[in-house]
Amino acid sequence: MAIIDSAFDNSERELSQVLSYLSDAYGSFHNLRTWSLTMMSDWKYGWNGLDNKTDPGFFSRNLHMWWDGPRLLSFAVSESGEDMTLQVGRDQRLLEERMLEWTEKEWGKGMDRIIVRALANDAWRQNILKSRGYRMVGSRGFLRRYDTAISPHEVPLEKGFSLSDPASSNDEASCIDVLSKALSRPFIDKEWFESKKKAPGYLANMVVWVMSPEGRCVAYAKACIDWKQNYAGITPIAVHPDYRLKGFERVCLAESMRRLANVGIRDVYIRSHIESSTSDLLYDSMLPIEKVEELSWELTK
């Protein structure tokens, strides 16, 4: 059957196919070489979901799919409309040239430059990009993999502070305030918060809150589990600006690792953008067993 391509129709049916595809791709590589369930859920829900109200074409414009009949073979997705990532399983890598051609001619129409992401250990992708005239222009960040049997599970909390989660506390207002201020996203509100709960893999007891002595949330981390492949991703990790430098990010990460270990999850991934040296030290202090740089490759038209 001939391979065809189409724009994402923003339906629950196609989203389910995308999430299933990513899970299967993880199983074929035995590692995270594509987006995770966490990343895809964050892309579809949260602020992109809210942006879709003012830009109804966002999802169909920034996710394009290749099919063999009813079978999804691969897809290209842009996180924010600024750069592109190719989501390809182990058996479909010959499609990458075709996907890049679409990226350059259709998605990038009218752009002066195209930026495509590639992991530093993905020689196949980098060679294809080089052959098409792309040049490496810098680091996007890092993908770290952790083993919950090795990472710290307990980090002392400052006196008076405690751990909680949405399953045992209903103080969502202060949590929304943390996320809005820590992530510099003033539009984060109750509607955004509720939309995140719709994401596949969301579990209230896998969202960690640090609570102040006054009973307000001051730090936050969310883990999302792919139960089919038994791995998890943690994002975002946020601390209210008034409570930084108290080690609460590490507390949230350690508690997330503990909870994941308790339900049998060993492999945990954290994807980070270019960080300050302090943040980089934090993620490294959790003892990753693998750290791969994600690179930006640019094609100038």
**Residue from 286, 265, 299, 231 nearest 31 by CA:** 231
pLDDT for the residue numbered 226: 93
* Among 134-143, 166-175, 198-207, the range of highest mean pLDDT: 134-143
pLDDT over 60 at 41, yes or no: yes
Tell me the mean pLDDT in the region 269-283: 80
pLDDT over 90 at 223, yes or no: yes
Same fold, 3-140+295-300 and 146-292: yes
Classify domain 146-292 by CATH architecture.
3-Layer(aba) Sandwich (3.40)
pLDDT for the residue numbered 111: 95
pLDDT over 60 at 262, yes or no: yes
Q: In the chain, pLDDT over 70 holds for what percent of residues?
A: 96
pLDDT for the residue numbered 177: 87
pLDDT for the residue numbered 274: 72
Tell me the mean pLDDT in the region 250-274: 94
Backbone angles phi, psi at 281, to 5 degrees: -65, -35
Measure the CA–CA gap between 86 and 118, rounded to whole angstroms: 8
Q: In the chain, pLDDT over 90 holds for what percent of residues?
A: 69
Q: Confidence band (pLDDT; 50, 70, 90) for 180? A: confident
Q: Confidence band (pLDDT; 50, 70, 90) for 276? A: low
**Tokens representing 127?**
């060679």
Q: Which of 2-16, 67-81, 181-195 has the lowest mean pLDDT?
A: 181-195
* Among 18-22, 42-46, 188-192, the range of highest mean pLDDT: 18-22
Tell me the mean pLDDT in the region 112-125: 97
Which is more confident, 32 or 53?
A: 32
Tell me the mean pLDDT in the region 208-214: 94
DSSP per-residue string spanning 41-83? HHHHSTHHHHHHHH-TTHHHHHEEEEEETTEEEEEEE-SSSSS
Domain boundaries, the chain: 3-140+295-300, 146-292
Tell me the mean pLDDT in the region 267-287: 84
Q: Cα-atom radius of gyration of the chain, to the nearest Å?
A: 20
* CA pseudo-torsion sign 280, 239, 248, 224: negative
Q: Half-sphere exposure of 213 toward its Cβ, with a 13 Å CA cutoff?
A: 3
Tell me the mean pLDDT in the region 197-218: 88
pLDDT for the residue numbered 49: 57
Contact 152, 287 (CB under 8 A): yes
Tell me the mean pLDDT in the region 120-143: 96
At the topology level of CATH, where does 3-140+295-300 sit? Answer: Aminopeptidase (3.40.630)
Tell me the mean pLDDT in the region 48-54: 61
